[in-house]
Structure 1
Amino acid sequence: MFIMKNSGWRMTNLFLVLIFVVVTVWILMRGTDTTGSVQTPAIKLINLMIWVGFAAVIVVIELIIWWAAKARKHR
């Protein structure tokens, strides 16, 4: 029963992981960005760090929501 209640949460997280992987591969594989500048390994690393930072914010928000839902459930 617990798995059925969290299936939407798990599907959402699976979708977010898929998006994260696709964008990460795209950042690492592209030769130029939308302005036409060449993507050197250093610039790719900077772009990747920004992307990981954004993803970390999303993970922290999800953990806060999960913690609040778990605390509310046990009341």
Structure 2
Amino acid sequence: MSSKSSDSPGAGPQVDSPCRRQCCLDERDICLGCGRTLAEILEWGQADSPRRRAICTAAEARLQQRPGFP
């Protein structure tokens, strides 16, 4: 997650997609590359910066819980 310019006043810095181009969904529809759920991936384009930060935080937590995560 990195910051760029603001996408709307008061929303904070723009949040880049956590996509790692290793897209493959597991049996729970969670991406093995970025850790987002399918619903979060579909929501991303319309999400504001606070929501995108929340998605990134949840996705990172999912990845860290995955067995074999470096």
Superposition TM-score, scaled by structure 2 size: 0.40
Superposition TM-score, scaled by structure 1 size: 0.38
Structure ranking higher in helix proportion: 1
Larger RCO: 1 or 2 (CA < 8 Å, sep 6+): 2
Whose radius of gyration is greater, 1 or 2? 1
